[in-house]
Amino acid sequence: MTDAPPTTGLHHVTNICTDMDETQSFYEDVLGWHTVKRTQNYDDPGTPHYYFSSTPEGEPGTTVTYFEYHFAFGVEDEATLREWKEHLEGHDVRVSEVKDRTYFKSVYFSDPDGLVFELATRGPGFTRDEDDPGSAVIDPFEGGHEE
């Protein structure tokens, strides 16, 4: 057994798309999913970053996003996130600082083959800045949430 802190399972998966309008139409019209957040990428300002979910609120574990390819696993809260950071560093894994992504906090690291992983907190969630998730385009840099 390991001394690794717990996760809550898959938080979200992020992919790259070539046409955001076509991608949004596919998720909404073909899959019947919801656009739960329309914003821009924290690491590449000006680049659209959309979140799609099978649920209207986009709970962790139900979300697919489009921009930079990575897998995100959920953790319960920021204390567990920091516990994971220390755990990974204790295993000589390079880990980012804790980043405020407005809707959750996260850290990033890579496996030995370069696959990027993210650990992300459950909250505060996509309703933090709008009652109807995905109803408006949100500029994360206006709210001062970038890190």
Residue range 53-74, pLDDT digits in tens: 888 888 877 777 766 567 788 8
Distance CA 14, CA 41 (A): 11
* Domains parsed from the chain with CATH numbers: 9-128 (3.10.180.10)
Look-up of token digits 């990033």: 108
For the chain, where are the alpha helices, taking DSSP H only? 20-25, 78-90
Strand order across the beta sheet in which 9-15 lies: 34-40, 48-53, 63-66, 9-15, 70-75, 116-121, 105-110, 99-100
Amino acid at 6: P
Structure tokens at 47: 């680049």
pLDDT tens digits, 8-55: 887 887 777 888 888 888 778 876 889 998 888 877 788 888 888 888
